[in-house]
Amino acid sequence: MRWLRFAAANTMRNKRRSLVTLGITALGACAILVAAGFALFTYHGLAESSARSTGHLILAKPAAFDDDEDVPLQTGLDHWEALRSALLTDEHVRNVLPRIEFTGLLSNGDKSAVMLAIGIDPDAEFAVRGPFLRVKDGDVITGDNSNEIVIGAALAHTLKAKVGGQLTLLATTTEGAFNAVDVTVRGIVSSGVTELDKRLVYCDLGTAQRLLATHRVSNVGVFLDRMDGVAAAQRRLQQLPLVRAQGLQVKTWLDFSDVYRSVKSLYDIIFGSLGAVIALIVFIVVANAMAMAVVERTREIGALRAMGTLPSQLMRMFGLEALLLGGGGAVLGALLALLVAGLLLLLNVQMPPPPGNTYGYPLLIDLSWSMTLLVVTLFPLLCAAASLAVTRRSLNQSVVDALAHV
């Protein structure tokens, strides 16, 4: 404690330099925490969006994941109702949503456009997944409204479709024949992705099965009660007797989220490099401050050496000074980062739409306690290392030379 008191008193001998060093250290810590918080917020947002799009877990035949189908639902699931009942016995499974994914044409009689259609259980889909679509006009479909569809805004513009208007779904059946079903437009929506809105069609399972002449579904999406239970749930569901009997494979949302993996890899490189640069700047600033302190106190160091103070003790004192500056700056930086996160939450700052999207998202900082603890721990050690790096050589000079220093 005595050495710590000496170090604290010494840091106040040149208040201006100490405050500048403290301020730069605090800004560096704040910048790292804010950048890491933005990256974590982006990761969590993309993960939730991807999981809500497909389900936390997706069950299908292995061929459905690996091979192309010659006809629609060639690798689809039979008896999916029994499979859903079996999956719902797991206490962590919130819901199980069957889906039929198919392509075809959507026509207004005079003009046709290629569609990417999804047959869903409407009531369960929109209840579980939440507001994943923005309704531009009309409403979403419900289980009580057969032969109604929801289409993307860009597709509606192409076909000049209006809510309540009549369109025709055209697709190839599971037997390879061509089939058509007349439908009514119930809603016009936007997914936020321009290219997807040019092809997007949602219909209920019954309509999709009549069009494709089948009772199968493409896959079932399993929604869990929490995100961090995905790996454990995957292992449990893979061992269910009915899953093993049907030869099904259980995959996670991450297997289908190329965007998440790409963005995470990019952000890891960008913000990792940014953190390294900031840490280097802090190291140089602290090293410069300690070098100046050593130069100014050279005669004092000589006097202490003459009275028997060991170089290791002096290095300890300067190291503790840097440790205090680094620790204080890191704590101030963490508090500043918390203030920035709170202000962004209150001000509702919006980011511009990413490339290919039609609307932006709120700018928020997801502060991590583990990252904060890491910064608060590493910054003092970094500053102490900077101090030792520049004081080692100066403290080993002879007592006579130190006392004669001007």
Q: For residues 26 and 70, state if they share a domain.
A: no
Identify the band that residue 183 occupies on the pLDDT scale cut at 50, 70 and 90: very high
User: Per-residue pLDDT for 406 more than 60?
Assistant: no
Residue 55 lies in a domain: no
Residue 232 vs residue 307, higher pLDDT: 232
Query: Mean of the pLDDT values across residues 329-349?
Result: 91
Q: For residues 68 and 108, state if they share a domain.
A: yes
Q: For residues 240 and 275, state if they share a domain.
A: no
Helix 298-306 to helix 258-296 angle (10° resolution) is 70
Residue 209 lies in a domain: yes
Residue 214 lies in a domain: yes
Q: For residues 294 and 179, state if they share a domain.
A: no
Which helix or strand (DSSP H or E) is residue 137 part of? strand 134-138
Express each pLDDT in 62-102 by its tens digit: 988 888 888 888 888 988 899 999 999 999 999 999 999 99
Q: For residues 117 and 186, state if they share a domain.
A: yes
Beta strands in 159-264 (DSSP E): 166-172, 178-190, 200-204, 219-224, 249-252
Residue 192 vs residue 137, higher pLDDT: 137
Residue 54 lies in a domain: no
| Residue that is last in its domain, among 213, 247, 281 | 247
User: Per-residue pLDDT for 404 more than 70?
Assistant: no
Q: Name the domain count of the chain.
A: 2
Output the pLDDT for position 192.
81
Query: Can you give the length of the chain in residues?
Result: 406
Residue 304 lies in a domain: yes
Output the pLDDT for position 175.
87
Residue 253 lies in a domain: no
Output the pLDDT for position 316.
75
| Residue that is last in its domain, among 190, 224, 247 | 247
Q: What is the mean pLDDT of the chain?
A: 85
| Residue that is last in its domain, among 214, 247, 280 | 247
Output the pLDDT for position 7.
64
Residue 191 vs residue 85, higher pLDDT: 85
Residue 396 vs residue 253, higher pLDDT: 253
Q: For residues 224 and 268, state if they share a domain.
A: no
Q: For residues 98 and 189, state if they share a domain.
A: yes
Output the pLDDT for position 349.
86
For residues 179 and 207, the answer to whether their CB atoms sit within 8 Å is: no
Which tokens hold the place of 39? 């990256």
Structural domain boundaries enclosing 67: 62-247
Which helix or strand (DSSP H or E) is residue 253 part of? none
Q: For residues 80 and 227, state if they share a domain.
A: yes
Rounded to 5°, the CA angle 124-128-133 comes to 95
Q: For residues 146 and 206, state if they share a domain.
A: yes
Q: Based on C-alpha coordinates, what's the Rg of the chain? A: 32
| Residue showing tokens 């949503």 | 97
Q: For residues 137 and 231, state if they share a domain.
A: yes
Cα dihedral 85/93/119/73 (nearest 10) = -60
Express each pLDDT in 100-115 by its tens digit: 999 999 999 889 999 9
For residues 178 and 172, the answer to whether their CB atoms sit within 8 Å is: yes
Residue 233 lies in a domain: yes
Identify the band that residue 16 occupies on the pLDDT scale cut at 50, 70 and 90: confident
Residue 105 lies in a domain: yes
| Residue showing tokens 């044409």 | 105
Identify the band that residue 401 occupies on the pLDDT scale cut at 50, 70 and 90: low
Query: Mean of the pLDDT values across residues 378-382?
Result: 86
User: Per-residue pLDDT for 332 more than 90?
Assistant: yes
For residues 113 and 167, the answer to whether their CB atoms sit within 8 Å is: no
What percentage of residues in the chain have a pLDDT greater than 90?
37
Q: For residues 177 and 228, state if they share a domain.
A: yes
Q: For residues 104 and 240, state if they share a domain.
A: yes
